[in-house]
Amino acid sequence: MANGKGQQKSVRAMFTSRFAAVATTVGSAVGLGNIWRFPYEAGVHGGGAFMLCYLFFVFVIGMPVLCAEFSIGRASRANAFGAFDKLSPGTPWRMSGLIGITASVLILSFYAVVAGWTLEYCVEALCGNLDFTDRTAGHETFRSLTGGTHALVWTVIFLAVNSFVVLRGVNKGIERLCNVLMPVLFVILVTFCIRSFFLPKFGEGMHFLFDPDFSKITPDVMLNAMGQAFFSLSLGVGSMLTYSSYFSDSTNLARTALSTALLDTLVAILAGVMIFPAVFSFGLSPEQGPALVFEVLPYVFNQMPLGALWAFIFFVLLFVASLTSTVSMSEISIAYFNEERHISRRKATLISSAITLVGGILCALSFGVLADFTICGKTFFNLFDFMSSNILLPIGAMLYSIYAGWVMKRKYLTRQFSDSVGHLSWFLPLLVFFMRWVCPVAIFIIFLNTIGLI
Ligand code: PHE
């Protein structure tokens, strides 16, 4: 185990500063999940009611799970598979790594499609083709850009860029990108929110997003809010576990978990504040699903001076935010192939990119020729999203939480938090209580509730 300072014989890469550790975990967490998925999920599931459930799942359930992943990752200094081999050799716990790898491949497949749309919108903005003048134009543009083979090409381009960044390794590629561009994205979002304040239906948008109608809190809304919270925080898949294995010993895990959750939620809320006033001001429906952000935002840009330039900047930043998230997803399977199967990083990247490419193609075609091909009433795109976010991530999160709370030797857990919260005697017992009881039981109840057993 390489968690004591004197014991670090490992040659694994490590983040070079504490700021880099936070910036990189925030880079993994902040992405399309906040800016594309959160507004559309909130739009479909009742606005304020969804928001309330989402906040509950981020701060009451997500934070302890994040601490669980961090502590397993840093205590083992290994990938999502190897961590359990090191901490509990010969036990079936390593299989939880399998859930993470499957989920990461599914997520990357549909995520690459949306990131591909983002790239496509960058180019269209640059060519001045996102200049919408009437309400149907946004819808038509979205359909024509995503329906044909364009989307397929852009998905492949995005996956190629992702593989390139991943090949450059942990420190250089990822850190540099996160450190510089995340703060810029934040400033741009705040600028758009200020712009949103001056839209005629700002109040209506805020009412929709922040005023919960409790009658809308159904099992389905809870399941989706839980899935969104885990998706947004990159939980249950092993990304945070793998990243924390690169943290230095002086990184304060509790504080890093809190900063990540706060910043991630802030970005999602800013995205909501940016989108919903525009939805109502332009007389659109909040329930449009995955197209929401792509159909609404060009309107917002259109109302601004130098709209095409703003659109271009926004979609470039969204693309970078997606990239920092997909890099963390790819890292799960690459670290597995590299460290467990002893395949070179280059080959590991190629293998995992090839697998995702197949998934990405199926998801991209879900908006074109495979639009009518459904399994359980869902296209590949919707199925991959549902299976990963609402099923695999919560199961993964439950397992990590149970492992850290019940199975992992207490001395490992204590050591992971002793530097950070040594003087807070209440912190560790409370965290363990949440890991042991609150998180697993809450996730389990929601599953039972969803399938109608309680
Ligand atoms: N959290 C990322 C986002 O919000 C998505 C993600 C999920 C990244 C799971 C890694 C693992 O966009």
d(CA 19, CA 25): 10
How many whole angstroms from 367 Cα to the centroid of ligand 1?
Answer: 22
* Residues found in the chain: 454
Q: Which of 280, 288, 268 is nearest to 208 (CA)?
A: 280
Q: Is 28 in the pocket of ligand 1 (CB under 6 A)?
A: yes
Residue 218: closest CA among 49, 47, 24: 49
Question: Ligand 1 pocket, 231 CB below 6 A?
Answer: yes
Largest CA distance in the chain: 65
Give the residue among 1, 44, 23 at the shortest CA–CA distance from 286.
44
Ligand 1 pocket check for 396: Cβ under 6 Å = no
Distance, C-alpha 221 to centroid of its chain:
19
CA distance 190 to 72: 35
Give the distance (Å) from ligand 1 centre to CA of residue 351.
21
Q: Which residue has the tokens 């952000």?
A: 293
Looking at the whole model, is its pTM more than 0.95? no
In whole angstroms, give the CA distance from residue 435 to residue 433: 6
Q: Is 393 in the pocket of ligand 1 (CB under 6 A)?
A: no
CA distances for 209 relative to 31, 168, 230, angstroms:
20, 40, 20
Residues with Cβ within 8 Å of 248's Cβ and at least 6 positions away in sequence, in order, are 14, 15, 18, 21
Phi-psi region of 174 (alpha: psi -120 to 50; beta: other; left: phi over 0): alpha
Alpha-carbon gap, residue 326 to 91, rounded angstroms: 30
Q: What is the pLDDT along the chain (454 residues), one digit of tens a residue?
A: 333 333 334 456 677 677 777 888 998 999 999 999 999 999 999 999 999 999 999 999 999 999 999 999 999 999 888 999 999 999 999 888 889 999 999 999 999 999 999 999 999 999 888 766 666 788 888 888 888 788 899 999 999 999 988 887 655 666 677 777 778 889 999 999 998 999 999 999 999 999 999 999 999 999 999 999 999 999 999 999 988 998 988 888 999 999 999 999 999 999 999 999 999 998 889 998 999 999 888 888 887 888 889 889 999 989 988 998 998 899 888 888 888 899 998 999 999 999 999 999 999 999 989 999 999 999 999 999 999 999 999 999 999 999 999 999 998 898 898 866 656 678 899 999 999 999 999 999 998 887 766 6
Residue 320 to residue 309: CA distance in whole angstroms: 17
Those residues with Cβ within 8 angstroms of residue 285's Cβ, 6 or more apart along the chain or in another chain? 43, 279
Nearest residue to 35 via CA among 280, 288, 311, 273: 273
What is the Å distance from ligand 1's center to 49 Cα? Answer: 23
